Structure 1
Amino acid sequence: MNLSPIPKVRQMNAGDFLKNHMRAAKPVVLKDFVDPRSPALQKWNYDYFKSIAGDHQVNIYGSEIESLDRVASKPVRQSTFSEYLDQILAAPTEERLFLFNLLTIKPELKSDLQYHDVTNGKVLKWLPFMFFGGEGSVTRNHIDIDMSHVFITQFQGIKRIWLFPWEQSDLLYKLPYNFHSLANVKEPDFDEFPGLKYINGYEAVISPGETLYIPSGWWHYI
């Protein structure tokens, strides 16, 4: 398996983005997709989230590596949002929150996020989710079921993401009638999944304020 670094750029205009990335289906890290003056970059941290929604009950998910042959993972337990944030700050853990929509619980947060629409109004729409995971947590290799273009922005800590184009789905052993891979790409078993030897993918490590653009239909392992 070969992974190439994803370029990081600033001040990309809509014309270049549409031509060189969205239409060409090429990922890129946008260092200023979120406006540097956006209140979210100053306000959004764990202490702030605990103060506004700490008592909210959340579903907590465990290791997805243990459920690679299943269509969906089930929550392993519940806790308050505040307790979970304290947990992931205290020590590494595989436990994470999945598709937690804090922006629905606290819709006033939407006004905190200001961004540059590099799609020029063509595809970018407001469908916000937040993802939380401590050091050691993993989201298994998958394609988004709605085949959307994804802009994933990091706000605290760092995140490593591997991307693979749709055309390599057979080599990734796509689960039939679903959007997940049967193979563990981080610790590949080449005897069971020999196609992984021939995968050509991309890697991004994103820090706070950076946004990774994932083209529609691309696999992503986080």
Structure 2
Amino acid sequence: MASTSNEEKKPWDSSNLRKYCLNFGEVPRFHFDDPRVDECIRSNKPVIILGTNLVKPAVEKWNLGYMEQNMGAALNTVYFSKSHKFKYFDENKMLGRSNPKGVQFTPPIRKEDMLIGDFIRTMRDWKQGEERLYMQQSLTSAVGTNIVQDFVNFNWKWISSKQKLHKWGKLTSNLLYVSQEGNVTPCHYDEQENFFAQVLGYKRCILFPPDQFQCMYPHPVHHPHDRQSMVDMDKPDHVRFPKFKEAKGVEAVIGPGEVLYIPIYWWHHVESLMRMGPTITVNFWYKAGPTVIQYPLKDHQKVSIMRNIEKMVLEVLRDPNEVGPLLRNVVLGRFED
């Protein structure tokens, strides 16, 4: 089947999207039985997949009222930010860490465990100038009987067929995201394959392929912001990060029932559209399949190699402040363009 027409009426327009200094191409949109879906997945390219019914029970039922009534008394992980940005950090890498100038790391967001009712009431009562909220909770048996039953009734046959066809590893986790409108998860990459299923509202995802690595300026692997870009897309510092101006990305806006495939090691920047109400999303993270070495290597394999080299150097030197100078000394005068 052909991709859906871009002429279809959308419930959002450019005023609901944040403005950035780059122009982006479009992620293709195909019906689930279009062979081009699997062509994209095999090629490690993002694609919006339509008509899967993957999270149909959630699309039909899950809104804030339903979640409040059915998620039970379990505590949920909620992040708070003084801005619209929710930049992930690794708590295990935070202890005792400082940058080369000796400045201690300060998390840009804080975490709190909340009952679902308290979270929803706080979000509904939110006023401009207050901390923003973003719930990110693993879907487990503790989330409430009805939610669990909805989860069981997802279209596991379809998604399992993709896992098998593309020889991925096991499903590692499902995260439930409940976000205020306008919230942003800044640009980062994951080391797993990801089906990103939209349940309520609209999200925009800007993606950059692994071959744009040098344009994205990732934090070092030892840093709490490992896998995150150092570039602030709202106001990029082109003096510190000059190659970011050359970055070439694609974008997708996905709505209820649509599934975005985010390939392993692809950078992605995710925002809940502004002035469009809260959003609910469920993602499906899978381990990568067995590595098949074929030359030339694929770009995501090169990123994996770079990470492993950086980790090994850190393990030997034991001082993260020495990693950068050593790697620069290896390159300078030997492998210059």
- Equivalent position of 2:233 in the other structure: 185
User: What amino acid does structure 1 have at the position aligned with 2:168?
Assistant: V
**CA RMSD of superposed structures (Å):** 2.8
* Cα shift at 1:188: 1.8
- Equivalent position of 1:119 in the other structure: 162
Query: How many residues of Structure 1 are paired with residues of Structure 2 in the alignment?
Result: 216
CA offsets 1:113-154 (integer angstroms, 9 cap, x no match)? 11523626233754311112101211121111xx21111011
SS in 1 for 2:174: coil
Matches within 5 A, 1:1-222: 1-13=22-34, 15-18=35-38, 20-35=39-54, 38-53=56-71, 55-63=73-81, 71=90, 73=107, 75-89=110-124, 91=126, 94-98=132-136, 100-106=137-143, 107-114=148-155, 116-117=158-159, 119=162, 121=164, 122-123=167-168, 125-126=170-171, 127-144=173-190, 147-177=191-221, 178-222=226-270
Q: Are the aligned partners of 1:5 and 1:203 in contact in 2 as well (CA < 8 Å)? A: yes
Query: So what's the TM-score if we normalise by structure 2?
Result: 0.57
Q: Are the aligned partners of 1:155 and 1:209 in contact in 2 as well (CA < 8 Å)? A: yes
> Counterparts of 2:65 and 2:229 in 1: how far apart (Å)?
36
> Counterparts of 1:103 and 1:206 in 2: how far apart (Å)?
25
Query: So what's the TM-score if we normalise by structure 1?
Result: 0.83
CA offsets 1:54-109 (integer angstroms, 9 cap, x no match)? 543223213387786965555343432122223434557632123x1134423433
* Cα shift at 1:34: 2.4
SS in 2 for 1:181: coil
* Cα shift at 1:161: 0.9
SS in 1 for 2:155: coil
Bigger radius of gyration:
2
Between the two proteins, what is the percent identity of the paired residues? 26
CA offsets 1:11-48 (integer angstroms, 9 cap, x no match)? 334x5433x21221211111222258x32221222211
State the structure with bigger RCO (CA 8 A, min sep 6), 1 or 2.
1
> Counterparts of 2:261 and 2:86 in 1: how far apart (Å)?
27
Q: Give the direction of change, closer, same or farther, for the CA distance of 1:128–1:202 in structure 2 (3 Å limit).
A: same
